[in-house]
Amino acid sequence: MTEHTEDQATASGGIEDASDWRALPDNAAQVAMIAGTIWGLAFGFGIASFIGWPLLRAWSTLSLLPSLALLMALALVIVIFSIWLGYRRWKFSLWKLDDTGLHVKRGRLWRKEILIPRSRVQHLDIERGPIERHFGLATLIVHTAGTRMHALRQPGFLDADAVALRDALVPASGRGDDVL
């Protein structure tokens, strides 16, 4: 996988010159792991409380402290697994833009390849949450026409790349260049 910077997005005529697959920036790994931590904490402590508490009551022969330690260990394992999943999600996400449209590859074990032809693009959104803004990242949302899955939501783009992709994917008739 290749690492890229904001300068590569605008160098030599724009983002469309990229003929090979691009990896998401390193900052996106940190954001993915932070998101994994947040979801892991919520899910891990939810599992520990809703599933573990009845088990704790059933195992009344154990004292309270070892039982709570066991539940905390379960929650910690879930948090660590969620962080690892966030990292893997980042590591195996690639994208490229060519004359056909936007291509996105995700996953390693279950590979998902997405092509959004330029002709199918309805409109595009860019989201920047507080954590993404801190790391200079954005989420690109591409809304498409006539499909069951009507939008592609891809987090982890550099802010400049997301803006350049948005501008490159907007259909020429939708840009408003002809409006006085």
Over residues 76-89, the pLDDT tens digits come to: 999 999 999 999 99
Q: Alpha-carbon distance 85 to 100, whole Å?
A: 31
Confidence of residue 122 (pLDDT cuts 50, 70, 90): confident
CATH top-level class of 7-23+94-172: mainly beta
Each domain of the chain, given as residue ranges in start order, spans: 7-23+94-172, 33-88
* pTM, rounded to two decimals: 0.74
Which pLDDT does position 173 carry in this prediction? 58
Higher pLDDT, 160 or 6: 160
Q: Which residue's entry shows tokens 């592609």? A: 152
The alpha carbon dihedral of 47, 53, 55, 56 has a sign of positive
Question: What pLDDT is attached to residue 61?
Answer: 61
CA 130 to chain centre: 15
Average pLDDT over residues 160-178: 76
Residue type, 19: S
The pLDDT, as a whole number, for residue 68 is 76
Amino acid at 107: G
Q: So what's the pLDDT on residue 62? A: 60
Average pLDDT, the chain: 81
Least confident of 6-15, 24-33, 62-71, 94-103: 6-15
